[in-house]
């Protein structure tokens, strides 16, 4: 059976971009593939995290995985730091990764501009750890949003380099990117991606935002000039909102344009907010019904399964390189 793997950093807010760019696309994959969905807690440390908040965020992100319908029996759901082979393989891969490749990474450039006071070595070698996450489990497919495509491409480069040097031991993975949802934009700035590190909370809808806040954020979302509800690159803010409407309701873009013919931005935004509330409320109810104790159990069971596979792979990798 082919394997799929993906993860999210437990850095607090999980927004519609993370959901539609990643998690939503994981849901159908569980039926077809052997899936690994993990909490990228080691990656989160590249930015300073308060320990008690990090722990809370790890549990909450796992709750969200469960609340949206990832099955903990069928899939392997675990915390990256619970399987130490991720860090071990990360080191081995860093020894075949050219610095010039790491320097090209857009995320490194962005984050080192954003966090000028903490440009740590982990931020720089981050893609080597991500490559390890993927290569440790002989992953075939990596479903991610567009901003991670460059890291998956580098993973392929690293794996090929490693195989050339030592023999064919690492499987070359492929990114799975859903074009429609690959890059949701900020509600306050449609030129930039929706991002948890955006300066304003009005940039995103978080999966846990309450109905009033959702209504407020959609009302405040920037719009373009004109009044017509039309999906066109000339109206990037509206294009983004229509995409969110489409993803949330499953209605086609054409149908949405038809439904709002003759109506204005105000009507459209009101409807969008209500559809989002309808979409998120059941997820939030499920999320609130899951206990920390259940989450801890699921993470422990997932780590045990992942560890077995990771250990076997590391034995093979170490033998191959003469360790
Ligand atoms: P992270 O935590 O930044 O984001 C999680 C997922 O959400 C997607 N995403 C978006 N998609 C559409 N529109 C947006 N505005 C948007 N913002 C974020 C991301 O592309 C991602 O799929 N390095 C990864 C975590 C990771 C990982 C891995 C992923 C670590 N190891 C191995 C896959 C495989 C990250 O920081 O994602």
Catalytic residue among 63, 185, 193, 269: 193
- Is 84 noted as a catalytic residue in this protein? no
In a domain, 139, yes or no: yes
Q: How far is CA 242 from CA 200, 204, 238, 273, 275, in A?
A: 21, 15, 6, 12, 12
Does residue 10 sit within a domain?
yes
Ligand 1 centroid to residue 293 C-alpha, Å:
26
CATH of the domain at 53: 3.40.50.620
Known catalytic membership, residue 193: yes
Q: How many domains is the chain partitioned into structurally?
A: 2
Give 16 Cα–ligand 1 centroid separation in angstroms.
Answer: 12
| Amino acid 197: pLDDT | 87
Q: Which has the closest alpha carbon to 72: 281, 283, 304?
A: 304
Out of 196, 216, 263, 270, the active site residue is 196
Cβ proximity of 39 and 22 under 8 Å: no
- State in Å: Cα 129 to ligand 1 middle: 14
Residue 171 gets which letter from DSSP? P
Pocket test for ligand 1, best of 4, 5, 8, 124 (most atoms within 8 A of CB): 8
Respond yes or no: is residue 111 known to be catalytic. Answer: yes
pTM here is 0.97
pLDDT in tens, the chain (323 residues): 999 999 999 998 999 999 999 999 999 999 999 999 999 999 999 999 999 999 999 999 999 999 999 999 999 999 999 999 999 999 999 999 999 999 999 999 999 998 889 899 999 999 999 999 999 999 999 999 999 999 999 999 999 999 999 999 999 999 999 999 999 999 999 999 999 989 899 999 999 999 999 999 999 999 999 999 999 999 999 999 999 999 999 999 999 999 999 999 999 999 999 999 999 999 999 999 999 999 999 999 999 999 999 999 999 999 999 99
Residues 61, 20 share a domain: yes
Segments forming the whole domain that contains residue 16: 3-177+292-321
The answer to whether residues 147 and 260 belong to one domain is no
């Amino acid at each position: 059976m082919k394997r799929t793997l993906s993860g999210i950093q437990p850095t607090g807010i999980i927004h519609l971009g993370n959901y539609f760019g990643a998690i939503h696309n994981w849901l159908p994959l569980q039926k077809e593939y052997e899936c690994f969905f993990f909490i990228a807690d080691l990656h989160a440390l590249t930015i300073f995290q308060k320990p008690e908040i990090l722990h809370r965020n790890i549990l909450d992100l796992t709750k969200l995985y469960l609340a949206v319908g990832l099955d903990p029996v069928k899939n392997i759901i675990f915390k990256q730091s619970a399987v130490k082979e991720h860090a071990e393989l990360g080191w081995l891969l860093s020894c075949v990764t050219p610095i010039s490749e790491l320097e090209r990474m857009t995320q490194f450039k962005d984050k080192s501009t954003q966090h000028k006071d903490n440009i740590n070595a982990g931020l720089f070698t981050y893609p080597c750890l991500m490559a390890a996450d993927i290569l440790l489990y002989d992953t075939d497919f990596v479903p991610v949003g567009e901003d991670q495509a460059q890291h998956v491409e580098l993973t392929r480069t690293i794996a090929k380099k490693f195989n050339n040097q030592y023999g064919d031991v690492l499987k070359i993975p492929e990114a799975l990117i859903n074009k429609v949802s690959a890059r949701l934009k900020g509600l306050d700035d449609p030129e930039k991606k929706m991002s948890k590190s955006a300066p304003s909370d009005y940039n995103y809808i978080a999966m846990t935002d309450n109905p009033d806040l959702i209504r407020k954020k959609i009302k405040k979302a920037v719009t373009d000039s004109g009044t017509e509800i039309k999906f066109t690159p000339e109206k990037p803010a509206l294009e983004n909102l229509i995409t969110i409407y489409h993803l949330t309701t499953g209605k086609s873009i054409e149908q949405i344009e038809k439904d709002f013919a003759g109506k204005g931005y105000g009507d459209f935004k009101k409807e969008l907010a209500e559809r989002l509330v309808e979409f998120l409320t059941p997820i939030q109810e499920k999320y609130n019904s899951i206990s920390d104790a259940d989450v801890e159990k699921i993470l422990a069971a997932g780590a045990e399964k992942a560890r077995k596979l990771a250990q076997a792979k590391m034995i093979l990798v170490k033998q191959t390189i003469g360790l």
